[in-house]
Amino acid sequence: MEAAAGMTAAGRRLLVGLLFVAIALNYVDRQVLSLLKPTLEAEFGWTSSDYAHLGSAFQIAAASALLLVGWFVDRVGVRLALGLGVVLWSLAGMAHAFAGSVQQFVAARVALAVAESVGTPAAVKTAAVYLPLRQRSFALGLFNTAPNIGAILTPLLIPPLALAFGWRAAFLVTGGLGLVWAIFWIIGTRRLRPVEAVTAATPKAAGWGMLLRARSSWTIIGAKALSDLVWWFVLFWTPDFFHREFGLEQGALGYPIVLIFSFAAAGALSSGWLFPKLVDSGLSINAARKRSMLFYALLIVPIPLALLTQSAWVAALLIGVGLFAHQGISTNIFGLSTDIVPASGIARVIAMGAVAGNISGSLIIELAGWSIDNGHGYWPMFAICAVAYLLALAFIQLMLPVIRPVNPLDERPAA
């Protein structure tokens, strides 16, 4: 483990800033394909099922890699794991530019997925190990905002770039940004230090057996399986939804998507603010977590109304509120993991949760391809999204009737 002395406030701010940029780039690279779908579909003659297979290949590859990635992050630390991950996923993103068939795109997507799977475990472990308790919720909210910033910038930049220089240039430019980031990461994290020194009183590192037996681990896994599918569906299929349902062409697809992910970014920040506010008001961690999550779970219930409107902007608003809710739930689940999972095992538990989320994401992506090709449209997926978070919260309540933090110093009276 890194040396025992704590980091300075400036060092922590730099670390959070670099993590924020890395996660944003993670989602820039993975979203390029969905924004170029109309162009690639026309050039290669893809069906909706072909496109769905690309998405599910990404999800399954990420799920397959995550358990090893979680162990790797816990074993070697954030600095090496994330630096290597960003370099590899940048090269995989650039490899899309040289693909000429569905099979070659699948190979590039699989490589991208495996490398990008390091991002979430590394970010959550960073909060647990390198940030004081009072700063974790805000940092996790900020980290959860980063994908949305990437998702906002990508539709603004990629369609014009592709129209001006061709779709291959879009993959090369976005992948190259990660290689530039790696230089700043190497220089900026030379003095990375954990908040607490390792002493004789430090709890023994959590083993796989302990993590797999723990109710807390399965709480995170189940909650991620029930909630992440919404994110993957919206991220992968929203450009096609606006192209198919509202006739938006390549150059206009980005604008409603920017609105949607602006709401998502606000949702992540709101959750990073709301939970500490509820705790400061006197609520227990148990009550603050669950009331916060109920608020967000109810917000997404109206999302199927996006299928009934004639306005692309009204649809974008409804989906945007849904993603506001998603990021609020997601930030709370990450925060819950830092409450109930030992820091020495948190990357592995987050990785297991991400495996579950990627598998459920691949299922809803495949369901969408089948549903569209067979004339059922988007109704089944939007209906699932409407109830997913209420089911996730019910599962958390079933598994953990009372949330009790691992660190007794963090506890408030249960309520």
The domain that contains 139 carries what CATH number? 1.20.1250.20
Q: Rounded to an integer, what distance in angstroms lies between the CA atom of residue 102 and that of residue 54? A: 8
Residue 221 near residue 346, CB atoms below 8 Å: no
Residue 351 near residue 121, CB atoms below 8 Å: yes
Residue 254 near residue 315, CB atoms below 8 Å: no
Residue 201 lies in a domain: no
Tokens of 100: 């000429």
Structural domain count of the chain: 1
pLDDT at 320: 95
Question: Residue 294 carries which DSSP code?
Answer: H
Long-range contacts of 42-48 (CB under 8 A, 24+ apart): 43/167, 44/101, 44/102, 46/102, 47/369, 47/373, 48/240, 48/368, 48/369, 48/372, 48/373
Q: What pLDDT digit, counting tens, does each position of 147-162 carry? A: 778 878 888 888 888 8
Question: Residue 190 carries which DSSP code?
Answer: T
pLDDT at 217: 92
Structure pTM? 0.71
Question: Residue 345 carries which DSSP code?
Answer: G
Alpha carbon distance, N-terminus to C-terminus of the chain:
37
Residue 349 near residue 212, CB atoms below 8 Å: no
Q: Rounded to an integer, what distance in angstroms lies between the CA atom of residue 44 and that of residue 30? A: 19
Q: Rounded to an integer, what distance in angstroms lies between the CA atom of residue 44 and that of residue 407? A: 54
Distances from the Cα of 403 to the Cα of 109, 128, 162, 365, 412, angstroms: 38, 17, 49, 33, 10
Residue ranges in 254-378 assigned as alpha helix (H): 254-280, 285-299, 312-340, 346-373
Q: Rounded to an integer, what distance in angstroms lies between the CA atom of residue 226 and that of residue 20? A: 25
pLDDT at 199: 41
Residue 122 lies in a domain: yes
Residue 413 lies in a domain: no
Phi–psi pair at 93, nearest 5 degrees: -60, -40
Residue 118 lies in a domain: yes
CA dihedral 271, 195, 338, 202 (to 10 degrees): -160
Residue 193 lies in a domain: no
Domain residues for the domain of 141 are 9-188+207-407
Residue 90 lies in a domain: yes
Residue 20 lies in a domain: yes
Residue 337 near residue 124, CB atoms below 8 Å: yes
Q: What pLDDT digit, counting tens, does each position of 365-380 carry? A: 999 999 998 999 999 9
Residue 322 lies in a domain: yes
Q: Which of 74, 71, 70, 329 is nearest to 224 (CA)?
A: 329
Q: Give the residues of the chain that fall short of pLDDT 50.
A: 1-5, 197-203, 408-415
pLDDT at 6: 55
pLDDT at 408: 43
Q: Rounded to an integer, what distance in angstroms lies between the CA atom of residue 55 and that of residue 49? A: 10
